[in-house]
């Protein structure tokens, strides 16, 4: 018998058995984990021991020399630990999640052939869903800052996940964390996320809150162009433009929206504001009257129309008073025109007060009329109402 040959043969057999044992540990972990996933819905009590035994097997496998660089071993470790973290409501869940993430990164590094691609994605989904659940628990308690942290952490596992991204953005917005809310919403703009229309609207509002009116108008305009049927975004762009002094620039867009929604009183009203700012008072008056025709009780339109006509009269009144003393005929004719404008404004001024007797602006406009008319009794009566507000 050749002893040397026998020893060599035994050594080779010993190596094969060792490697096989560790490959078997990976297979055992895989088998137990798959049994766990099958049983957990129907019989959680039978499922948990399977998860425990899967953990014990995979912990050994990833430490052994023969399988420490096996992509499958690390993939199943990521799956097993991610599931354990999802089932753990104690402080230990964070450590389990960290272990799962480490295993996941190792699996990605080793899986050059892509054999574990599907299971790696499952592990990513498990981790991100776990963070989604954690974040939702805080969100439901209105603990929005904490919810944001959990949702945002989920993005570390699943970068670009639109559900996590949107949840993080909304949580940051409610937490008044405007910078992070803006950042998360902006990341969603290039996507086809289902709530994209709402994202444009929220993002525009957030820019206004941080004082960036230019960005707010730009985002609302981009949203309105992307969603031409969105009345909300179109109106937001118009309103922000009017507020920021860009009345002339937005006239065309107001007209376009008014064509789409001919029965919506808000657009002729906004058109009146825009034309007034552009010193096209005849068009402004027509626009306000159109808004009133759509809603005969539209208080704001009556206030603005009455104020517009009063201002026309005041401008003519002031022009008359600047005439030299030797132009009495022209002065009288100009003053008559001013008074005619004041009287033309009166029905609208009175209607505004009738519709809202507690409107400070409506009352002040009517007081101005009676002051100009030198009707002190009426002016004092309205002044008392203003002071009583």
Nearest by Cα to 345 from 291, 382, 303: 303
> In this structure, what token pair is assigned to residue 129?
């869903």
pLDDT of 7 above 80? no
Average pLDDT over residues 231-237: 92
Average pLDDT over residues 42-47: 81
> In this structure, what token pair is assigned to residue 160?
């670009």
Q: Decide if 77 contacts 54 (C-beta within 8 A).
A: no
Nearest by Cα to 55 from 37, 19, 28: 28
How far apart are alpha carbons 131 and 32 in whole angstroms?
25
* pLDDT tens digits along 83-139: 888 777 777 888 998 899 899 999 999 999 999 999 999 998 888 888 898 899 999
* pLDDT tens digits along 263-315: 999 999 999 999 999 999 999 999 999 999 999 999 999 999 999 999 999 99
The per-residue b/e assignment along 357-377, b for 16 or more CB within 10 angstroms, e otherwise, is eebebbbebbbbbbebeeeee
Task: Report pLDDT for 23.
Answer: 53
Spell out the domain ranges in the chain.
27-110, 246-292, 297-389
* pLDDT tens digits along 48-97: 888 898 889 888 888 888 888 999 999 999 999 988 887 777 778 889 98
How far apart are alpha carbons 49 and 11 in whole angstroms?
36
Query: Residue written as tokens 């030198």?
Result: 374
Give CA separation, 45 vs 36, 41, 50, 53, 90, in Å: 10, 10, 10, 14, 19
Nearest by Cα to 103 from 130, 136, 81: 81
Sequence-ordered list of residues with C-beta below 8 angstroms from that of 20, at least 6 positions apart, any chain? none
Burial of 228 (0-12, 13-18, 19+ CB in 10 A): exposed
Q: Under CATH, what is the fold of the domain 297-389?
A: 1.25.40
């Amino acid at each position: 018998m050749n002893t040397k040959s026998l020893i060599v043969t035994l050594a080779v057999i010993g190596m094969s058995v060792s490697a096989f044992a560790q490959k078997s540990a990976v297979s055992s972990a895989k088998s137990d984990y798959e049994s766990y996933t099958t049983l957990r819905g129907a019989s959680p009590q039978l499922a948990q021991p399977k998860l425990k035994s899967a953990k014990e097997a995979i912990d050994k496998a990833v430490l052994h020399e023969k399988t420490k660089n096996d992509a499958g071993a690390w993939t199943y470790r990521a799956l097993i630990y991610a599931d354990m973290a999802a089932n753990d409501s104690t402080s230990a869940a964070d450590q389990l999640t960290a272990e799962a993430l480490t295993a996941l990164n190792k699996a990605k590094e080793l899986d050059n052939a892509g054999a574990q691609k599907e299971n790696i994605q499952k592990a990513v989904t498990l981790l991100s869903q776990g963070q989604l659940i954690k974040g939702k628990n805080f969100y439901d308690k209105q603990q929005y800052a904490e919810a944001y942290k959990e949702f945002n952490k989920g993005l570390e596992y699943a970068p670009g996940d639109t559900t996590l991204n949107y949840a993080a953005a909304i949580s940051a917005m409610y937490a008044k964390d405007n910078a992070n809310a803006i950042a998360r919403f902006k990341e969603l703009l290039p996507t086809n996320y289902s709530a994209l229309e709402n994202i444009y609207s929220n993002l525009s509002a957030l820019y206004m809150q941080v004082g960036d009116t230019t960005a707010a108008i730009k985002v609302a305009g981009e949203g309105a162009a992307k969603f031409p049927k969105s009345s909300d975004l179109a109106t937001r762009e118009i309103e922000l433009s009017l507020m920021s002094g860009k009345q002339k620039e937005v006239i065309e867009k107001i007209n376009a929206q008014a064509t789409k929604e001919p029965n919506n009183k808000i657009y002729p009203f906004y058109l009146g504001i825009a034309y007034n700012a552009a010193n096209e008072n005849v068009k402004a008056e027509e626009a306000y009257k159109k808004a009133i025709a759509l809603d005969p009780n539209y208080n704001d339109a009556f206030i603005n129309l009455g104020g517009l006509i009063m201002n026309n009269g005041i401008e003519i009144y002031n022009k008359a008073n600047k005439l030299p003393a030797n132009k009495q005929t022209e002065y009288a004719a100009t003053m008559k025109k001013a008074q005619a404008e004041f009287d033309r404004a009166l029905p609208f001024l009175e209607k505004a007060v009738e519709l809202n007797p507690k409107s400070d602006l409506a009352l002040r406009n009517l007081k101005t009329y009676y002051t100009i008319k030198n009707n002190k009794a009426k002016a004092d009566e309205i002044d008392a109402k203003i002071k009583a507000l």
